[in-house]
């Protein structure tokens, strides 16, 4: 096992990049930040981030970065519709990939990444930071004690005043909107907690405000082959933010709030202060440590590209269910 620090670059100096850069630079035994890369029109932001996080250099050409031989891995924080082609190019250049969620905007795009990962033998991890809070980890450890089948309910609501960036306005580029942006958080943790095969999805979506093409509300029901049932409500219209999960089984209940605070049958199990994760926190740091350790140990990271594909398949089925007005078999 190679314990040398992983030489890492980040591509995409957008709003979530700060959380990833904090994680990359948090522990020097895990990684060295070689470069921050952005488009030529992002030069000022790219150079500011490179300076703030003490990167060895700022790069304004992706091909230049991919051709470099002093980068082992790339953290990708670019718009959703760019994920697949960029991930394939990075893998073909011989570098591991940590991809900000979702893996891609479609199953077809996801499959190209999965194939490229298999052909290269390199690690692809999907950034699903909410798995890595202590409360969420403890919920995963306790969920089997509830028995089967399970019911899971997740209500994730934020208020988005306007599109934070131009690509959010495009339903094609954003993968819808609420489903493309926050759907992966809800769907991934459902799959992770239930740990059974999803079989069918029924969904309804709505757009309450005309600031974007895609939906800003989504409600869906997800069935599993063990009889478990999960429901999700994703909204970008919640003036009072909410992030609540309830998991019920024949032997008890879990209540997980903000991914951090956990109760079992009403008794506190984990309690943590809630802080804005957009600037970086323990979840991003633990996520990045999992990525580095997977590379060092030559094993799949969790969540893997295959895990990310499963999430995208359900996102795609949610949109298809809305269009057809009927459940979609997975």
**DSSP assignment string, 150-191:** -EEEEEEEEE-SS-SSGGGG-HHHHTSSHHHHTHHHHHHHHH
Dist CA 296 CA 294 (whole Å): 5
Residue 276 pLDDT: 83
DSSP string, 257-271: ETTTEEEETTEEEE-
Residue among 50, 247, 295 at smallest CA distance from 141: 247
Residue 3 pLDDT: 84
Residue 211 backbone dihedrals phi, psi, to 5 degrees = -95, -5
Q: What are 146-188's pLDDT values in tens digits?
A: 999 999 999 999 999 999 999 999 999 999 999 999 999 999 9
Across 91-99, average pLDDT: 98
Collect all residues with Cβ–Cβ distance below 8 Å to 242 and sequence separation of at least 6: 155, 156, 157
Dist CA 191 CA 180 (whole Å): 17
Q: What are 21-64's pLDDT values in tens digits?
A: 999 999 999 999 999 999 999 999 999 999 999 999 999 999 99
Dist CA 263 CA 269 (whole Å): 5
Residue 295 pLDDT: 98
SS3 assignment, position 234: strand
Q: What are 102-158's pLDDT values in tens digits?
A: 999 999 999 999 999 999 999 999 999 999 999 999 999 999 999 999 999 999 999
Whether the CB-CB separation of 19 and 277 falls below 8 Å is answered with yes
Query: How high is the mean pLDDT of the chain?
Result: 97
Residue 206 clears pLDDT 80, i.e. is over it: yes
Across 71-84, average pLDDT: 97
What domains are defined for the chain?
6-130+282-304 (3.40.50.720), 132-275+312-329 (3.30.360.10)
Dist CA 130 CA 135 (whole Å): 10
Residue 95 clears pLDDT 80, i.e. is over it: yes
């Amino acid at each position: 096992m190679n314990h040398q620090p992983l030489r890492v670059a980040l591509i995409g100096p957008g709003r979530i990049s700060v959380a990833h850069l904090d994680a990359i630079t948090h522990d020097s035994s895990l990684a060295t930040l070689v470069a921050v890369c952005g488009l030529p029109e992002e030069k000022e932001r790219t150079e500011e981030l490179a300076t703030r996080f003490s990167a060895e250099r700022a790069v304004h050409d992706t091909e230049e970065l991919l051709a470099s031989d002093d980068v082992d891995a790339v953290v990708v924080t670019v718009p959703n519709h760019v994920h697949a082609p960029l991930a394939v190019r990075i893998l073909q250049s011989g570098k591991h990939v940590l991809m900000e969620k979702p893996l891609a905007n479609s199953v077809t795009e996801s499959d190209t990444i999965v194939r490229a990962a298999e052909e290269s033998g390199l690690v692809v991890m999907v950034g699903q930071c909410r798995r890595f809070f202590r409360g969420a980890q403890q919920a995963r450890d306790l969920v089997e004690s509830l028995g089967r089948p399970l019911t899971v309910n997740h209500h994730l609501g934020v208020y988005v005043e306007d599109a934070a960036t131009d690509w959010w306005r495009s339903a094609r580029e954003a993968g819808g909107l609420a489903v493309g942006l926050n759907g992966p958080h809800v769907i991934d943790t459902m799959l992770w907690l239930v740990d059974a095969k999803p079989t069918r999805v029924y969904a309804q979506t709505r757009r309450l405000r005309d600031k974007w093409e895609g939906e800003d509300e989504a409600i869906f029901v997800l069935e599993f082959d063990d009889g478990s049932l999960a429901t999700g409500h994703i909204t970008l219209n919640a003036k009072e933010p909410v992030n609540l999960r309830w998991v019920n089984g024949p032997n008890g209940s879990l209540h997980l709030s903000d991914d951090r605070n956990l109760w079992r049958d009403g008794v506190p199990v984990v309690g943590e202060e809630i802080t804005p994760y957009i600037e970086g926190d323990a979840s991003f740091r633990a996520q990045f440590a999992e990525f580095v350790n997977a590379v060092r140990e030559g094993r799949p990271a969790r969540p893997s590209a295959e895990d990310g594909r499963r999430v995208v398949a359900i996102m795609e089925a949610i949109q298809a269910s809305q269009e057809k007005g009927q459940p979609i078999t997975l």
